[in-house]
Amino acid sequence: MLRYSLIFLSSLVIFSSCSKFSKVLKSKDFEYKLKMANTYYEGKDYRKSQILYEELFPVFKGTPQFDDLYYRYAYAQYYLRDYITAESLFKGYLEVFSNNARAEEVEYMQAFCFYKQSPKAELEQSNTIRAIGMLQIFINTHPESAKIKEAEALVLKCQAKLEVKEALSAQLYYNVSQYKAAALTYTTLLNNYPDSKKGDEYKLMAVRAYFKYAAMSIPEKQAERYQKVIVEAEDFQDRFPESKLMKEAERYLTLSKNNLKSLNHEQTTQTGRK
């Protein structure tokens, strides 16, 4: 019985709330609607406040109340996780109130909305790239901002995601036996992120891919391609002398040198026979 009473009371509260909001929507008193929009916003009922702010946006444009309305309208969309609309509103706010005391905060929020739109590393990363650009602009233009450390941390997170994206692409090439493409992609990855903690892994994968590429090549091409493995493996030795992966890199170096010797010996034998 208690359960059904609670359900009834909950339904009654919801109905009463909806009925009250319906009356607010039907009201022709715009000042009252704005007051209620702010009340809903402060009560974190962002959906209702957003609906009212959207209706009131053209009504209060050019009035003293417009600044606060615009600001809250943008944040309401942000809290509703509509980051595309929120970003657009934050941008618009900056165009209208460029010299406002809130401008720095809103500029950061515009960049942050791009960060919030950044997808998983496996997906297309244009929003991540845009987020880095917007955050970097904020860092450059507001070097004394209290948000600088947070902005810098977000840039690093975005860059880490782009690194993962490139690493996944390189691994995919390797997995489908496109070894030359894999080697080139791993090399580019290492060049793009020279300070990466996985630098030695990327370099070893490039060596491994070049070795696989040489091994599956036609005999006429193998010598130059094993020579490429040797160059890359020796570069690994120079760049990562303390790496735990050194033994494997040296194994590919030894195998390539031995294969190259065998190829040269075979070529010399064939030339002698002629």
pLDDT of residue 109: 98
- What fold is seen in the domain 177-274? 1.25.40
Q: Say whether pLDDT at 135 is over 60.
A: yes
What residues contact residue 157 under an 8 Å CB cut-off, 6+ apart?
Answer: 115
Give pLDDT tens digits for 184-212. Answer: 999 999 999 999 999 999 999 999 999 99
Q: At what angle do helices 199-215 and 148-175 cross, to 10 degrees?
A: 20
Per-residue model confidence as pLDDT tens digits over 219-271: 899 999 999 999 999 999 999 999 999 999 999 999 999 999 998 877 666 65
Confidence (pLDDT) at 43: 97
Name the pTM for this structure.
0.82
CB 236 within 8 A of CB 207: yes
Domain borders along the chain are 177-274
What would the pLDDT profile of 51-66 be if each residue is shown by its tens digit? 999 999 999 999 999 9
Evaluate if residue 158 carries a pLDDT over 70.
yes
Residue 74 backbone phi and psi in degrees, to 5: -65, -45
Percentage of residues of the chain with pLDDT beyond 90: 87
Nearest to 162 by CA among 116, 131, 200: 131
- The yes-or-no verdict on residue 137 having pLDDT over 80 is yes
pLDDT of amino acid 264 = 80
Helix, strand, coil content of the chain in percent (nearest 5):
80, 0, 20
